[in-house]
């Protein structure tokens, strides 16, 4: 005997807010009030929204009892029929198929193997079952009827029809005054700018004339000096000779200082390059001997080990880099640091 289990599920969802399919899961119905869609202009009746949970597996006896009573079979036979239905559903879901329960919804497994439920549009609320959505449209005339009483009392007042002539002339005169004021402002601004430019040019001309007069006054005494300059007395001549001698002596002193500085520069500045800091004295002695054999002046310091390097005189900074290159090729050390420069 074929038993239509989905039909029993659909029927029982109208009568109960929760229905459990033994060994599979359960449906839960949530009552929702009537909703209004103002954009679409419709009102939906009260309904029951279905959700499914595969954690509800404990038999509540509702589905088994309804199947046994409807088909006049025992409870054990009803449980067997429901178990066969659940087994078929599980096989289809494991094959990534969609199981459809007519009038209820569709079941499928997602990518994490959880059962998902998509309900149909069936309204399981028995009190509003079969009621279609109510369509409505806003009434535009109701606002016009409400606004009319507000305008009628204002029209009945005797003062409103009579408008004094001063008020009618005032809007016409305001634009003219504003335009005239704007034109006067522009003329005043242009005149001020013209006066400012003229005043600046006059001040510039006066400055040029004063500078030219000053230049002529400064040039006049220079040309007259040779003609008006009196003969120098003997005392001034002797003072001049003394100044010349002191100037000569100071020049000689400067030359001597320059020669001394050149001699110092010829010797050069001292530079110390540290090639390595060694822990064992034997390795330090080997490096010292290698540097001496190559003709370098050895720098040796016993501090946190044995610092071994070279010291030399230089006149140019490029000589330091050349020495570093020579030491790198000689010792194979690439991290040579400058201790004194």
- Return the structure tokens found at 118: 């998509």
- What range defines the domain where residue 39 resides? 5-134
Does any domain span residue 170? Answer: no
> Which of 30-34, 166-170, 285-289, 295-299 is least confident?
166-170
**Which of 35, 48, 19 shows the shortest CA–CA distance to 125?**
48
Query: pLDDT (tens digit, 9 = 90+) per residue, 93-148?
Result: 999 899 999 888 999 998 888 999 999 888 777 666 667 777 777 666 655 555 55
Does any domain span residue 13? Answer: yes
Of these ranges, 1-5, 158-162, 164-168, the one predicted with the greatest mean pLDDT is: 1-5
Does any domain span residue 86? Answer: yes
Instruction: For 19, list phi and psi in degrees, rounded to 5.
Output: -145, 130
Last residue of a domain, one of 134, 154, 173: 134
- Structural domains of the chain, count: 2
Does any domain span residue 88? Answer: yes
* pLDDT(169) > 50: no
Instruction: For 91, list phi and psi in degrees, rounded to 5.
Output: -65, -45
Last residue of a domain, one of 134, 169, 185: 134
pLDDT band at 34 (very low <50, low <70, confident <90, very high): confident
Does any domain span residue 228? Answer: no
Secondary structure letter of residue 39 according to DSSP? T
Does any domain span residue 236? Answer: no
For the segment 220-239, the average pLDDT, to the nearest whole number, is 50
pLDDT of residue 242: 65
Reported pTM: 0.38
pLDDT band at 88 (very low <50, low <70, confident <90, very high): very high
Name the burial class of residue 101, with classes exposed (0-12), middle (13-18) and buried (19+) by CB atoms within 10 angstroms of its CB: buried
């Amino acid at each position: 005997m074929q038993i239509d289990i989905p039909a029993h599920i659909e029927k029982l969802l109208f009568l109960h807010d929760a229905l459990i399919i033994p060994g599979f899961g359960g449906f839960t119905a949530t009552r929702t009030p009537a909703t209004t869609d103002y954009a679409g202009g419709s009102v939906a009746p009260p309904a029951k929204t279905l959700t499914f949970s595969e954690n509800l597996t404990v038999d509540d006896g509702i589905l088994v009892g309804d199947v046994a009573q409807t088909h006049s079979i025992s409870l054990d036979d009803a449980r067997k029929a429901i178990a066969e239905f659940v087994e078929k559903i599980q096989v289809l879901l494991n094959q990534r198929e969609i199981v459809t329960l007519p009038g209820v919804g569709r079941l499928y497994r997602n990518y994490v193997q959880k059962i998902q439920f998509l309900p149909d549009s069936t309204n399981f609320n028995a009190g509003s079952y079969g009621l279609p959505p109510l369509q409505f449209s806003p009434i535009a005339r109701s606002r016009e009827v409400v606004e009319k009483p507000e305008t009628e009392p204002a029209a009945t007042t005797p003062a409103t029809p009579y408008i004094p002539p001063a008020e009618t002339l005032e809007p016409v005169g305001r634009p003219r005054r504003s335009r005239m004021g704007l034109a006067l402002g522009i003329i005043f601004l242009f005149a001020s700018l013209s006066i400012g430019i003229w005043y600046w040019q006059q001040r510039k001309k006066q400055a040029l004339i004063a500078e030219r007069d000053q230049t002529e006054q400064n040039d006049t005494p220079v040309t007259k000096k040779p003609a008006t300059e009196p003969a120098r007395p003997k005392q001034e001549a002797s003072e001049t000779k003394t100044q010349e001698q002191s100037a000569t002596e100071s020049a000689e002193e400067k030359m001597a200082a320059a020669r001394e500085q050149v001699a110092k520069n010829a010797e050069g500045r001292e530079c110390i390059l540290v090639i390595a800091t060694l822990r064992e004295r034997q390795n330090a002695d080997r490096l010292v001997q290698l540097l001496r054999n190559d003709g370098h002046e050895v720098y040796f310091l016993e501090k946190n080990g044995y610092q071994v390097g070279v010291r030399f005189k230089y006149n140019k900074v490029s000589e330091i880099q050349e020495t570093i290159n020579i030491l790198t090729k000689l010792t194979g050390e690439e991290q040579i640091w400058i201790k004194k420069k």
